[in-house]
Amino acid sequence: MENFDITDHLSFMKAEILETLRLVMDPELHVNIIDLGLVYGVKIDEPEKQINIEMTLSSSYCPMGESILSAVKNCIEGHYAGFTANVELVWEPVWSYHNITEEGKKLLGI
Amino acid sequence: MSSIKQNPGLYRIVVTHYVVAALCFFTLAVMMLFSVQAFTGHYFHPQILAITHMAALGWGTMIIFGASYQLVPVVLETELYSEKLAWISFSLFLPGMIALVYSFWIFIPGIHMQCGAVLLLTAVILFTVNVYLTAKKKKQQTIQEDFIFSACLCLCFTAVLGAALVFNFTIPIFAQDQLHFLKIHAHLGIAGWFLLMIIGVSSKLVPMFLVSSYQKTRLLSFSYYLIVSALLLFLADSYFSGLNYRTYFIALIGAAGLACYLLFIVKCFLSRMRKKVDLPMMSTFFSFILLKVAVLTIPFIIYYHLKNNPVSIRYSLIYGVLLFMGWITALILGQTFKTLPFIVWVKHYEHLTGKLKTPMPSDLFKNSLLKIQSAGFIIFCLTFIPGCFFMSQPLLYAGIGALLVTAVMYLANVFIILFHKTKTYGKL
């Protein structure tokens, strides 16, 4: 998960992107991908107008994986006109229970 | 990563299998309504044979074929080898199944029954070839692949033996009587095809749907080797000696294999991150209980068979009902509403997600119908199974009535999912 760096002028935008990504839900769990801890990082390439999202999935066999990735891309490009989104799927570090936020745990009934 | 890849060709194949299976399930319930008397007698009865083959082929195998074309590539992390081969297999399987079931029902073991058997055999061979060539695309081998491919081989052997048994009605092929080979044919189908296939696919899907943190596959490997060993020992031993005292030991090996699988499921369940268990998953767990109960009847079947006590026929009938109408039916009734809504959802909403508010896959079916379906099925189990054991016609009628309600609700919900119209709730 991203740390807020006040010295980085893009920090506010990054924080805003992370909030925007709360709109993307896991279709099976009905919990957003931020509270599930699936998003590992956000990088903004301002001159190239590109937003790079580094994220994972709860399972490499997730049959809805493709849908979640396309939802992330659609969500970013829909909210940040002029920017293109690039979603990079990573498997390291492996996603685990500990990635879920307190809010996510509450939503899952844990 | 592998995921539900949506292309119109694959969608049509999968959906066609689901629709035909749902129609077969309803037909099965109607056939049972007209065969109540048969359930109070011996299982080697024309109507029971027709019902069993409708349940095993039209219902169980049809939906497994359909789901496999979508899920085997997901489980094996590759793409389906050929959609064309899947269509050819389907177009041979359906008329073959109808011909076979109808010939059993009216019991004329002539050309129609033989043609049905040959069509079915060709269809299952084509399915196996398709699965084999799909798996061959993949480099890494997993225990799931062993389960799935062994299941397909068993299905081919089941169909070969089944076809031979059909021809044996008119052209003597076997020296022993039909019942001797019927046991082998049935167990190749039950333990070989259904059990191995269901373990192979569910061992990936159940942890995924539960979001389980349990990842180890050691129990699955034990399960595979124990079940396959028990099956091979049973086939050889019962071929040469029929049921005998060794059968207890063989059943124990098989039960140990099953226990390993069920333990795997329990570990997945306990380590699940999603605490709320929905109705489709509850139906799935109920199916595992019915499977365990079916296995518990085996010692009674062997015991009474060795004592030449006709009660063994009652236990055998219950064993079959628990497996086909209990375990397999409960599993399909649950898993249909985990898989089909996702397949349809991807078609309607994948391109819209992240842009617009859309329904979730679980919004695609009517939960109220699913509740009635589940209640109907539980009533069926609680009345029909004791009805078979006590040969009570009122209980059998009550059970079949509940099964008809279950089938109508299931069919209605399947059509609700398939005729879903894309709707959105505004911009995200």
Could you read off the pLDDT of B240-274 as tens digits, one per residue?
988 899 999 999 999 999 999 999 999 999 988 77
Domain positions in chain A are: 11-108
**Ramachandran region of residue A37, left (φ > 0), alpha (ψ -120 to 50) or beta?**
left
CB contact under 8 A, B211 and A29: yes
Chain centroid to CA A106: how far? 19
Query: According to the model, what pLDDT value does residue B13 have?
Result: 95
Query: According to the model, what pLDDT value does residue B73 have?
Result: 83
CB contact under 8 A, A108 and B74: no
Q: Which residues of A touch B75 (CB under 8 A)?
A: 61
Its CATH architecture, for the domain A11-108, is 2-Layer Sandwich (3.30)
Query: According to the model, what pLDDT value does residue A4 have?
Result: 64
Does A5 touch chain B if contact means CB atoms closer than 8 Å?
A: no
Report the half-sphere exposure of B406 (CA within 13 A, side-chain side): 28
Q: Are A82 and A44 in contact (CB under 8 A)?
A: no
CB contact under 8 A, A70 and B350: yes
Nearest CA in chain B to A96: B213
**CA separation, residue B178 to residues B13, B174, B320, B422 (Å):** 36, 8, 17, 53
Largest Cα–Cα distance in chain B?
Answer: 72
Nearest CA in chain A to B356: A75
Report the half-sphere exposure of B302 (CA within 13 A, side-chain side): 18
Q: Is residue B114 part of a domain?
A: yes
CB contact under 8 A, B355 and A23: no
Rounded distance between C-alpha atoms, residue B15 and residue B305, angstroms: 43
Instruction: Quote the tokens at residue B23.
Output: 């129609």
**Ramachandran region of residue B107, left (φ > 0), alpha (ψ -120 to 50) or beta?**
left
Query: According to the model, what pLDDT value does residue B370 have?
Result: 97
CB contact under 8 A, B1 and A23: no
Rounded distance between C-alpha atoms, residue B113 and residue B104, angstroms: 8
Could you read off the pLDDT of A24-71 as tens digits, one per residue?
998 888 899 999 999 999 999 989 999 999 999 887 767 788 889 999
Q: Are A1 and A39 in contact (CB under 8 A)?
A: yes
Our count of domains for chain B comes to 1
Largest Cα–Cα distance in chain A?
Answer: 43
A-B contacts (CB, under 8 Å): 99
Q: What is the distance in angstroms between the Cα of A11 and the nearest Cα belonging to chain B? A: 22
Does A27 touch chain B if contact means CB atoms closer than 8 Å?
A: yes
CB contact under 8 A, B4 and A67: yes
Q: Is residue B361 part of a domain?
A: no
Q: Which domain holds residue B70?
A: 1-140
Could you read off the pLDDT of B46-74 as tens digits, one per residue?
999 999 999 999 999 999 999 999 888 87
Q: What percent of chain A has pLDDT over 70?
A: 95
Q: Is residue B242 part of a domain?
A: no
In DSSP terms, A53 is beta-bridged to A42, A87
Q: Is residue B108 part of a domain?
A: yes
